[in-house]
Structure 1
Amino acid sequence: MTLTQRHCVAGGQPLNPGEFAALLANASAASWTERAGALEKTFVFADFYRVMAFVNALAWIAHRENHHPDLALGYDRVTVRFGTHDAGGVTLNDFICAAHADALLTDTQ
């Protein structure tokens, strides 16, 4: 089962270094980086309209999964950061939502 076929579950545990490395090596997560205990990626778009379309679609996913990212956005870019504060680190839920965010690209560009 791919990450985009999965859904978040409550109470995720932080991944151990081996699990984290294996998931990060996955093709769907390879473009994300670990930064200060979270997964982070900057998406670049042609204009603000496409930025907002992506953000709104990502908000719907975050609401559905009950797993919400930190976002920083500008005219042509969005930095998305998934980390599980309650667990104190990156969980499987973060990778699942990162994969869902990547899957939106075919709909927004």
Structure 2
Amino acid sequence: MLNELKCEACSGDAIALDKNQQQQLLTELTDWSVIERGGIPQLEKVYKFKNYKLAWAFSNKVSEIAEEEFHHPAILLEWGKVTVTWWSHEIKGLHQNDFICAAKCDKALNDA
């Protein structure tokens, strides 16, 4: 399972996943989408909550995951909603690390 894996160090010579690899890993996640911004594929999900405080608490959990994995997403915190976007900045694309961290976000939500 993806959420049991650890991120590996990703350097500039790492190879981004191709579309087929992305789609294969996407099948292991729930409600995540691959979107493109500026030609860079990114993995994104919107989580919904009953209020701001619950959304804020989840944002903090995502931040803890990011620090543990040394891989950092974009997190948009709004009232009742958190949008999490993962991509590997160094390779300007998606790496297995992004899918690992996405799975860890879902696990953090389910463990709450």
Deviation of residue 106 (structure 1)?
2.0
2:31 corresponds to: 31
1:35 partner SS: strand
Asked if 1:84 corresponds to 2:83, the answer is: no
Runs of at least 5 residues in structure 1 that lack an aligned partner in the other structure: none
Give the paired residue count: 105
Deviation of residue 80 (structure 1)?
0.4
C-alpha spacing 1:89/1:98, structure 2 compared with 1 (3 Å)? same
In terms of fraction of residues, the more strand-rich structure is 2
Pairwise mapping of residues 9-88 of structure 1 onto structure 2 (< 5 A)? 9-11=8-10, 12-26=14-28, 29-36=29-36, 37-88=41-92
For 2:16 and 2:78, the matched residues in 1 are separated by 31
Asked if 1:6 corresponds to 2:10, the answer is: no
Which amino acid in the other structure matches residue 18 of structure 1?
N
2:45 partner SS: strand
- Runs (4+) of structure 1 moved beyond 2 Å? none
Q: TM-score when scaled to structure 1?
A: 0.90
Asked if 1:98 corresponds to 2:97, the answer is: no
C-alpha spacing 1:106/1:30, structure 2 compared with 1 (3 Å)? closer
Which amino acid in the other structure matches residue 85 of structure 1?
H
Identity %: 34
